[in-house]
Amino acid sequence: MDLENTLLNSLGIEVTKLEKGYVTATMPVDNRTRQPAGLLHGGASVALAETVASVGAYELVDKKNEMVVGLEINANHIRGKRDGLVTAVGTVLHKGRTTMVWDVKIMDEENKLICVSRCTIAIIKKK
């Protein structure tokens, strides 16, 4: 997978574990991912969550004939973070013919919850 010219590369997101129905990824909290007040930007957390859900969903489809795209995402930002590294853990809650639902929890280095997200992924046919 070529990530050089993608949002993942821009934000420093790295997928660290990929299994059927389970994904982990990390993202630094630095000048790329902070908001002006110095805290982790909520949009960066949402980008990390959707990345985890999308990468995980892609592993569960027929790659020759199907692709996946984000359909809906919500996030609750529980705790602020100023620096370091966050880790997202995604698990599939539902896999249907046309959609999947993923639960993503983002935690800090001490396993404190930073953000919780639910992402719906659409499964679409390749053209």
d(CA 114, CA 90): 14
Q: What's the pLDDT score for residue 97?
A: 97
Task: For the beta carbon of residue 28, count every other beta carbon within 10 angstroms.
Answer: 18
pLDDT in tens, 16-59: 999 999 999 999 999 999 999 999 999 999 999 999 999 999 99
In the predicted structure, residue 3 carries a pLDDT above the cut 70:
no
Residue 22 backbone dihedrals phi, psi, to 5 degrees: -150, 130
Q: Over 70: is that where the pLDDT of 94 sits?
A: yes
pLDDT tens digits for range 66-88? 999 999 999 999 999 999 999 99
5 has pLDDT over 90: no
Is the per-residue pLDDT at 4 higher than 70?
A: yes
Cα separation of 107 and 26, whole Å? Answer: 10
Angstrom distance (rounded) from CA 86 to CA 63: 29
Could you confirm whether 66 is annotated as catalytic?
no
**Mean per-residue pLDDT for 3-21?**
92
Contact in structure between 77 and 54 (CB atoms under 8 Å): no
Map out the domains of the chain with their CATH numbers: 7-125 (3.10.129.10)
Which one from 4, 19, 50, 66 is the annotated catalytic residue?
50
Cα–Cα distance, 38 to 50 (Å, whole number): 23
pLDDT over threshold 60, residue 1: no
